[in-house]
């Protein structure tokens, strides 16, 4: 009997993550939940309602590498002998999960320092990375899939399509005859997905444009003839084109809010975040708010509405500051066109108060 069953596993802060059971040959799970006793118990209970056990699973496919989608892969594979299939990017990450996540943690620390997050705030937020370490695990991929490949799962043929942005490893699993796609966190009904900035490299003056890449991926998804998106969290999406239009409108509004903040003068990404979210959110989730602000700043940089300069403050990478392009042009004229990359231009010749 070919059927799709939703199993929800608990997930702190977010509430739950969707695990999709595909009844058919081979018996398949899409995503697994985090590596935790509570998530494993929820998975076992969901399978039990279907008259199944973990040991019956034959294939596991993650939509991307994040802990809540891959954390139990190794446990399930060890108990059932299930094969694991994943997009090449997710397969590579899974094979080196410990090293890659540690490198992401190190990079994110430097990124936060570079964009104005105080060191005490960075230190107090390390529980975020501890949680990733404790609820994830390396996994081995038996079948590495390339963008566009088709795999048999749960009695149907699924085409895997790379959709980087939310993460570098995001993929859709598309059942073309039924116009249904398993989309992980690529597009969620209730919230806008973040776009993580975590390359395994040092921030040497450039950064991956994750938000720009994410919006490009959304455009590609919006062009597809899909009737139903089964998501990684929350409800399914029946009108994906309409939702993508709403997400783009939200991005335009966020960009406008950032421009309004910069009308008051230059600011770093963390300083901008304090104008957009509550003090508690900014203090407790510094890496997430920096990712979000930088993503929108990259959109504004692409539109030539803002400029970025690096202040050499004696730290390893200096501090990045942003201001309206018109203000920067005015300052450049006042200084005979000089705009060195190692210092920031201050509107009206005034040094930002935070630098005093």
pLDDT in tens, 207-227: 789 999 999 999 999 999 999
Q: What is the CATH number of the domain that holds 231?
A: 3.60.15.10
| Span 184-197, average pLDDT | 96
Residues 85 and 125 in one domain: yes
Q: What are phi and psi of 121, to 5 degrees?
A: -70, -40
156-162/150-153 β-pairing: antiparallel
Same domain, 181 and 327: no
User: Quick one: DSSP state of residue 68?
Assistant: H
Query: Percent of the chain, pLDDT > 70?
Result: 89
pLDDT at residue 145 tops 90: yes
pLDDT tens digits, 96-124: 999 999 999 999 999 999 999 999 999 99
User: What does the pLDDT look like over 245-268, one tens digit per residue?
Assistant: 999 999 999 999 999 999 999 999
Q: What integer is the mean pLDDT of 154-176? A: 97
30 lies in the same domain as 170? yes
> Which of 182, 204, 239 is the last residue in one of the domains?
239
Is residue 30 over pLDDT 50? Answer: yes
Q: Is the pLDDT of residue 350 over 50?
A: no
Cα 355 to Cα 8, 116, 120, 234, 284, distances in angstroms: 47, 10, 17, 43, 23
Are 186 and 258 contained in the same domain? no
Give me the pLDDT at residue 151, please: 98
Statement to judge: residues 78 and 159 lie in one domain: yes
User: Smallest Cα–Cα separation from 90: which of 26, 138, 47, 29?
Assistant: 138
Average pLDDT of the segment spanning 294-307: 96
Same domain, 290 and 321: yes
Q: What is the mean predicted confidence (pLDDT) over 150-171?
A: 97
Residue numbers of the domain that contains 333: 249-355
Q: Which two tokens stand for residue 324?
A: 């309206």
pLDDT for residue 183: 98
- Are 139 and 51 in a shared domain? yes
Give how many domains the chain has, as a whole number: 2
Mean pLDDT of 338-351: 30
182 within some domain: yes
- Give a yes or no: residue 293 inside a domain: yes
Alpha carbon distance 210, 212 (integer Å): 6
pLDDT value of residue 317: 80
* pLDDT, tens only, 325-341: 876 655 554 444 433 32
Whether residue 99 is contained in a domain is answered as yes
**Dihedral of CA 209/210/215/218: which sign?**
positive
Query: Of 181, 215, 239, which residue constitutes the final position of a domain?
Result: 239
How confident is residue 316, by pLDDT bands cut at 50, 70 and 90? confident
Average pLDDT, the chain: 90
Q: What was the pLDDT predicted at 315?
A: 77
- Same domain, residue pair 190 and 302: no
Predicted confidence at residue 339, as pLDDT, reads 38
Is the domain of 109 the same as that of 233?
yes
Q: Does residue 244 form part of some domain?
A: no
The pLDDT assigned to 208 comes to: 85
Among 239, 267, 282, the domain-final residue is 239
Q: Do 90 and 122 reside in the same domain of the chain? A: yes
Residue 341 resides in a domain:
yes
Higher pLDDT: 10 or 13? It is: 10
Dump pLDDT digits (tens) for 46-66: 999 999 999 999 999 999 999
Q: Does a structural domain hold residue 19?
A: yes
- Shared domain check, 227 and 260: no
| Judgement on whether residues 264 and 191 belong to the same structural domain of the protein | no
What percentage of the chain carries pLDDT values higher than 90? 83
CA dihedral 137, 87, 84, 72 (to 10 degrees): 30
The verdict on residue 312 lying in a domain is yes
Q: What is the pLDDT of residue 149?
A: 98
Cβ-Cβ contacts under 8 Å for 148 (sequence gap 6 or more): 159, 160, 161
Question: Is residue 206's pLDDT more than 90?
Answer: no
| Residue 67 placed within a domain | yes
């Amino acid at each position: 009997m070919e059927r799709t069953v939703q199993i929800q596993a608990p997930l702190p802060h977010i509430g739950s993550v969707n695990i999709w059971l595909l009844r058919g040959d081979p018996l398949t799970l899409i995503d697994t939940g985090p590596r935790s006793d509570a998530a494993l118990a929820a998975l076992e209970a969901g399978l039990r309602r279907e008259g199944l056990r973990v040991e019956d699973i034959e294939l596991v496919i993650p939509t991307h590498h994040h802990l809540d989608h891959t954390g139990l892969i190794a446990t399930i594979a060890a108990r059932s002998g299930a094969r694991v299939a994943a997009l090449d990017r997710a397969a590579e990450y899974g094979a080196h999960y410990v090293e890659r996540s540690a490198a992401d943690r190190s990079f994110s620390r430097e990124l936060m320092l570079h964009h104005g997050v105080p060191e005490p705030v960075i230190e107090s937020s390390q529980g975020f990375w501890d949680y990733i370490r404790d609820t994830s695990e390396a996994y081995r991929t038996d079948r590495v899939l390339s963008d566009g490949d088709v795999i048999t799962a749960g009695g149907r043929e699924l085409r895997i399509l790379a959709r980087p942005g939310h993460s570098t490893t995001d993929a859709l699993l598309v059942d073309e005859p039924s116009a249904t796609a398993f989309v992980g966190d690529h597009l969620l009904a209730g919230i806008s997905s973040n776009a993580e900035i975590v390359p395994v490299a040092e921030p040497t003056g450039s950064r991956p444009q994750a938000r720009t890449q994410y919006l490009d991926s959304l455009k590609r998804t919006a062009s597809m003839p899909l009737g139903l998106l089964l998501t990684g969290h929350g409800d399914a999406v029946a009108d994906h084109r309409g939702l993508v239009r709403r997400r783009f409108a939200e991005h335009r509004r966020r960009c406008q809010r950032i421009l309004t903040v910069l009308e008051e003068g230059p600011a770093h990404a963390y300083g901008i975040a304090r104008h957009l979210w509550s003090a508690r959110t900014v203090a407790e989730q510094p890496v997430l708010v920096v990712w979000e602000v930088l993503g929108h700043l990259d959109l504004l940089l692409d539109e030539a509405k803002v400029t970025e300069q690096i202040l050499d403050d004696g730290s390893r990478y200096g501090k990045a500051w942003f201001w309206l392009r018109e203000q920067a042009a005015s300052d450049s004229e006042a200084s005979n066109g000089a705009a060195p990359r190692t210092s920031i231009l201050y509107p009206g010749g005034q040094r930002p108060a935070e630098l005093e």
